Amino acid sequence: MSSSQRADLGRALCIITGASRGFGRTVAREMSRLVKPGSAMVLTARSGEDLRALQAELAESEAGRAGLKVQCVPADLAQMEGLLSVVSEAEAAFSEHIDHVILVNNAASLGDVSRFTRTFTEMAEVDSYLSLNVSSCLCLTARILQALPSRPGLQRSIINITSLCALQPFCSWALYCTGKAAREMMFRVLAAEEPDLRVLSYSPGPLDTEMQAVARSSTADPDLRKTFSDMFAAGQLLTCEASCAKLMKLLLEDSFTSGAHIDVFGPDHCVP
Amino acid sequence: MSDINSTNPMSLGRGICIITGASKGFGRVIAHQVSRSLEPRSVLLLVARSGTLLQEMKEELQSFIEGRQLVLHCITVDLSTKEGVDETVRVARQEAVDEIEHVLLINNAASLGNISKFETFTNPDEVNSYLSLNVSSPLALTAGILQLCPCRPGLRWSVVNLSSTLALQALPSWVLYCTAKAARNMMFSVLAKEQQNVKVLSYSPGPMDTDMQKEILRVTQVNHNPLPCHESAAKLMKLLLDDDFPSGAHLDFFDV
């Protein structure tokens, strides 16, 4: 049974958070190759410098030279100001010719994995973590959906970059697991509410990024830490490009069930 | 050496039991039921925002408490604040004497939140505030309580998370509540996995005849045929007394 696949993502407006490095940056690069001329990207992260470097790179690329518009929005998404600036750039970048809005909720933090659940006695620390990893994601998505409402001929895709940690508990990863589980449910509710939206929770697998480097050096649980170190030593971490290719394929095939959790390795994967 | 009473299967032992949201609804009813299963010289800490309602409960329980030689403290605090959580932990620490055999924390306090379409949640303050009470607070409180006394043989730890079917099932217009319950379920699962000596239970009590359910009916016009709280509380009590559920389990009233 062959799956038919569109050749491109359309004339798209892509909004990508955490776009300055790691997986987010790779998504920006790969998506830029798959969108039609007349498309636009709104890239956000805290680091203005890294965003501008990416913007320059994309401007020089084939897509850039064919007219892809790239806007950078340095912003802290946990602050109202940051949220508003991303939404307003997205509104500005939108036009009647856009037939696909793609929001990639990728920005996230690991939280302190060097400690166990029993040590999280300070509400402020947990509040701050949830604010970035859950609330900002909910509010950004809600505002984008309101700002760029449904209309005939417009597809709206909402991607949640998730993890196996959304589905399974891991020792010393209380904040990360809690945040991912919260987001997973959040997007399942969205998918259930809006059947016209294409909602995907994509779990990219263990990537060779700075986040993974922190995971393997700081994880308090010795077994989990060893699992990460062993994977790194054995060259088993995925490149962002390899994982992103799978995400792009899913988007081009566009046959996933809205609200589904799809892992880069498929259903039996068991390492975050 | 454990005293003969604590091998009684119908007993929670000589314990310190902390119940949040204890002034109304399920919390109030479970407080009554728990008190019947605590051994003499146990401590019951009831936490809620309403001093008036807690005082009523104190009066309701007074003669029973005296007869059973239980100690009762009512803690009137707002658990959405650091001060509220810290005060609860402070009182618990003060009462957790060496002879305690069981520390039992029932994370029951919760709020419904706005039942509204996903798209309406454009205000981070609203979402942050909701998650703070319903996720951060039980995490911080649980962490604080777990640090009450050093682990020692013969000291039993039990943590209950009042959950919901909506921790597992997505329901349109219920994004806040579903998200928080899913978050709590995971949070307590991580705890269970980390600490073999702490028995963690996520208990989904079913729809009950509480103010929360009245609000659900008012907002959604859906009648869930609520149960009396005492029926659901009795099931939770049985689970705690039998103590043979796997730690970290998510159990529903209708399945046990």
Does the pLDDT at position B145 exceed 50? yes
Residue A260 confidence (pLDDT):
97
pLDDT digits (tens, 9 = 90+) for A145-183: 999 999 999 999 999 999 999 999 999 999 999 999 999
Instruction: Please check whether residue B148 touches A, CB under 8 A.
Output: no
Which residues 203-232 of chain A have a CB within 8 Å of chain B? 221
pLDDT band at B141 (very low <50, low <70, confident <90, very high): very high
Q: Containing H/E element for A201?
A: strand A198-203
Instruction: Please check whether residue A196 touches B, CB under 8 A.
Output: no
Average model confidence (pLDDT) for chain A?
96
| Closest alpha carbon within chain B to A195 | B172
| Closest alpha carbon within chain B to A125 | B136
The 8-class DSSP code of residue A168 comes to S
B64: left (phi over 0), alpha (psi -120 to 50) or beta: alpha
> For residue A189, which residues of chain B lie inside 8 Å, CB to CB?
118, 170-172, 174-175, 178-179
Of B120, B131, B189, the CB nearest to A134: B131
Instruction: Please check whether residue A80 touches B, CB under 8 A.
Output: yes
Of A126, A146, A185, the CB nearest to B179: A185
Of A123, A169, A178, the CB nearest to B85: A123
Single-letter amino acid code for the residue at A182 = A
Of B140, B173, B182, the CB nearest to A123: B140
pLDDT band at A1 (very low <50, low <70, confident <90, very high): very low
pLDDT digits (tens, 9 = 90+) for B85-119: 999 999 999 998 878 999 999 999 999 999 999 99
Class of residue B184 by CB neighbours under 10 A (exposed 0-12, middle 13-18, buried 19+): buried
Single-letter amino acid code for the residue at A119 = T
Mean pLDDT calculated for residue range A60-78: 96
| Token digits of residue A48 | 């203005």
Query: In sequence order, which residues have a C-beta less than 8 Å from that of residue A84 and are 6 or more positions away?
Result: none
Can you give chain B as a three-state secondary structure string? CCCHHHHCCCCCCCEEEEEECCCCHHHHHHHHHHHHCCCCCCEEEEEECCHHHHHHHHHHHHHHHHHCCCEEEEEECCCCCHHHHHHHHHHHHHHCCCCCCEEEEEECCCCCCCCECHHHCCCHHHHHHHHHHHHHHHHHHHHHHHCCCCCCCCCEEEEEEECCHHHCCCCCCEHHHHHHHHHHHHHHHHHHHHCCCEEEEEEECCCECCHHHHHHHHHHCCCCCCECHHHHHHHHHHHHHHCCCCCCEEEEHHHC
Does the pLDDT at position B44 exceed 80? yes
Does the pLDDT at position B6 exceed 50? no
Is the alpha carbon torsion for B256, B111, A188, A191 positive or negative?
A: positive
Residue B80 confidence (pLDDT):
97
| Inter-chain CB proximity B178 and A193 less than 8 Å | no
Instruction: Please check whether residue B93 touches A, CB under 8 A.
Output: no
Residue B116 in contact with residue B173, Cβ under 8 Å?
A: yes
Q: Could you tell me the pTM of the whole model?
A: 0.96
| Inter-chain CB proximity B194 and A127 less than 8 Å | no
Does the pLDDT at position A266 exceed 90? no
Of A121, A142, A173, the CB nearest to B121: A142
3-state class (DSSP) for residue A98: coil
Distances from the Cα of B237 to the Cα of A99, B62, B104, angstroms: 56, 21, 12
Class of residue A196 by CB neighbours under 10 A (exposed 0-12, middle 13-18, buried 19+): exposed
pLDDT digits (tens, 9 = 90+) for B171-203: 999 999 999 999 999 999 999 999 999 999 999
pLDDT band at A88 (very low <50, low <70, confident <90, very high): very high
Q: Containing H/E element for A157?
A: strand A155-161
Residue A81 in contact with residue A107, Cβ under 8 Å?
A: no
From CA A207, how far away is CA A199, in angstroms rounded?
A: 22
CATH 3.40.91.50 fits B9-255, yes or no: no
Residue B91 in contact with residue B73, Cβ under 8 Å?
A: yes
Query: In sequence order, which residues have a C-beta less than 8 Å from that of residue B64 and are 6 or more positions away?
Result: B35, B36, B70
CATH 3.40.50.720 fits A12-205+241-263, yes or no: yes
Residue B10 confidence (pLDDT):
75
Residue A140 in contact with residue A17, Cβ under 8 Å?
A: yes
Mean pLDDT calculated for residue range B40-51: 97
Beta bridge partners of A8: none
The 8-class DSSP code of residue A9 comes to -
Does the pLDDT at position B154 exceed 90? no
Average model confidence (pLDDT) for chain B?
94
Residue B1 confidence (pLDDT):
42
Would you kindly state where each structural domain of chain A is located, as residue ranges? 12-205+241-263
Give residue B16's Cα distance to chain centre: 13
pLDDT band at B129 (very low <50, low <70, confident <90, very high): very high
Instruction: Please check whether residue B196 touches A, CB under 8 A.
Output: no
Interface confidence (ipTM) of the complex: 0.96
| Inter-chain CB proximity B180 and A182 less than 8 Å | yes
